[in-house]
């Protein structure tokens, strides 16, 4: 999406690596969800959570 925006706003094509560099300079970082364990026991996880 950022590459498309740069192309639309400035008429320039940029590589994906350069796009990530621009994003880091602007203060953004790549975000990924935490992995889930395949054999996780949801009942045990619910018991472990704090009751607030």
Tens-place pLDDT, residues 26-48: 999 988 888 888 888 888 888 88
pLDDT number for residue 21 = 93
Task: Name, in order, each residue with C-beta under 8 angstroms of 12's C-beta and a sequence gap of 6 or more.
Answer: 6
Q: What are phi and psi of 44, to 5 degrees?
A: -65, -35
Q: How far apart are CA 47 and CA 6, in angstroms?
A: 48
* CB distance 24 to 17 below 8 Å: no
> From its phi and psi, is residue 11 left (phi > 0), alpha (psi between -120 and 50) or beta?
left
What's the mean per-residue pLDDT of the chain? Answer: 88
> What global pTM score does this model have?
0.53
Q: What is the rounded distance in angstroms from the CA atom of residue 44 to the CA atom of residue 20?
A: 39
């Amino acid at each position: 999406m950022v590459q498309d925006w740069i192309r639309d706003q400035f008429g320039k094509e940029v590589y994906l690596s350069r796009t990530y560099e621009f994003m880091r300079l602007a203060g953004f970082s790549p975000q990924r969800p935490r992995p889930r364990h395949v054999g996780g026991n949801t009942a045990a996880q619910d018991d472990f959570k704090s009751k607030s």
